[in-house]
Amino acid sequence: MNRRCLAVASFCLFSIAYGVTQQTSNQEEFGKQVQHLMEVEVGFMNMVPQGMSIEAKEISRTGKSGSPVVKYNIYVKGAPADAIFRGFNWPANAEKPSVALDGITAAKDGLLICAGRTDYDCGTRQKPDDPIDFIVTPLKGEPFRVAFVAGDLQIGTVVVPDPVQAADKGCSLSAVRLTSKFELAFLSGSGYSPNTDIHYRVSTGDSKKDFVVKSTDQGIIRTGVVPAGAGKTKGTTNVKIIEPTCSPEVSYQWGTL
């Protein structure tokens, strides 16, 4: 079902992700799938060439947490003045990115626009230099991943409009939905002791399991989380850092949209 809408100067992104489940006879393939989905997320987070920057600025929000409608303008700075971008998005339901809009240019302040001045530009001559509104209707914890390509130049970003996050004593923790029903969460955080084993507990119902993730030399943690408890198809997962220095925890519903 295609729930994406495309307009002249805006495109709406809706993502319904394919599922990841522990109920598989091939644990090696399962591990590869989890690793791939996490690499996609990190790839977008790191897709900023040297000398350039990208920023998504929220300009409006309606609705409540769990079903918001959020509008962004995106600014790309440091690109060549004559760059004409093709915009891509990669929803969690897709195996590869898809084209969302062609003919994008950046104004002098970096704002992405439909200039409408030439046949190569998106937009119309009747409405030149029209700012592009990126409109998302995310699920809780769902990432908005977008990239812009002009020849060999690629720049991208990830925004989580309705985050699952917490903080405690200088440490942060968040869980990003990498599949539609949150069967796979991308767990990340910062503020931890560098190059240290960070212990955390994943609980679903009566099932609890403890894990360890190694922090980077910047005190950042990143790992994937699947629901604890074999045979379950939905529930609430709680993830808690169990360190004496800080113990942020997050909870999210999985198994349903």
Residue with tokens 């990498």: 178
Pick the CATH number of 164-254 from 2.60.40.10, 3.20.20.80, 3.30.230.10, 3.90.1150.10: 2.60.40.10
Lowest-pLDDT range of 93-97, 142-146, 187-191, 243-247:
93-97
Percentage of the chain with pLDDT > 70? Answer: 87
- Whether the per-residue pLDDT at 87 is higher than 60: the answer is yes
Domain coordinates in residue numbering, the chain: 5-159, 164-254
- 84: tokens are 């004409």
- Whether the per-residue pLDDT at 10 is higher than 90: the answer is no
Sheet hosting strand 112-114, strand order edge to edge: 130-131, 112-114, 98-106, 85-89, 144-150, 153-159
pLDDT for the residue numbered 13 = 41
Tell me the per-residue pLDDT of 93-149, one tens digit each, with 9 for 90 and over: 677 889 999 999 999 999 999 999 999 999 999 999 999 999 999 999 999 999 999
Angle at 140 between CA 36 and CA 218, to 5 degrees: 55
What's this model's pTM, rounded to 2 decimal places?
0.85
- Whether the per-residue pLDDT at 59 is higher than 80: the answer is yes
Q: Return the closest-CA partner of residue 169 out of 247, 242, 249.
A: 247
- 191: tokens are 């503020």
